[in-house]
Amino acid sequence: MQIVRLAQEWQLISKLKSGGFATVYRTRSENIEDAILKLIPKRPGASRELLFENLTGLPNILLIIETGEWGDYWVIVMPRTDKSLRDYLDESGGRLESDKAIAVLVDILTALAALQDRVVHRDLKPENILYWQGHWCLADFGIARYVLATTSSETWKYAWTWAYAAPEQWRGERTTSATDIYATGIIAYELITGEGPFNGPAEHDYREQHLHQEAAPLTGSPPLLATLVAECLFKTSNARPTAKHVLSRLQNMQGTESVASIVFYG
């Protein structure tokens, strides 16, 4: 078994996935039996995710156990989680009942409210939302940026996912906390309907849809929730509600009759 030596020695048990930005392994150490280790090849901008280690301790942000360098790689060690939101959606037949969708969104917005005006994730999607210790937590800050930081050529600002990218990202404009609200609106739409509001399929299709096409009205959804999702998907970033505002409205919906009152649009 290969050993990665940081402050602790991490034994690589098995490779879980490999992509353009990193290779992910299941790992263990003398003190931790089961964890995830990410090897990120050293190249310009590749150490960005390590900058966000100090987010540990904020609500619903996945813990970073340890970071460091190992040969030609940056290393991040995280807890092994139960599943991703994508896994949960697949297990649930592609969509969730309104009360379950709201519960997931409350967890996401709790994290975003803590990050508001501080950090922009820039790549929120079900694959980057992981279930850990009873909550849905944000993970993979590989292309995130601090809100007040100067944008440089090494921020990987164009490494986002087409289906969840806000209009300002397609225009190459500066991202803000409102960018993550837009992606959350896409996620919410998908949780409720089983598919995103914009489905490409090619890059130029996504660009046109995010910039100029309005999402079809939600069906089979509580009216308060449908209205909130529509506001999150406003094309103009300044018109979208803040994370704290969205969180408050979602919390008010939990356990109320509004969740059970379904409205269908013709």
Known catalytic residues are 123
Q: For the purposes of burial, counting CB atoms within 10 Å of the CB of 16, is it exposed (0-12), middle (13-18) or buried (19 or more)?
A: middle
Per the document, the length of the chain is 266
* Phi, psi angle pair for 129, to nearest 5°: -120, 115
**Torsion sign across C-alpha atoms 159, 164, 168, 171:** positive
Structure tokens at 252: 């008010």
> Using CA atoms, how far apart are residues 137 and 142, in angstroms rounded to an integer?
15
Q: How far is CA 13 from the centre of its chain?
A: 27
Q: Quick check: 126 and 190 in contact, CB under 8 A? A: yes
Q: For the purposes of burial, counting CB atoms within 10 Å of the CB of 151, is it exposed (0-12), middle (13-18) or buried (19 or more)?
A: exposed
Question: Taking the CB of residue 239, how many other CB atoms lie within 10 A of it?
Answer: 9
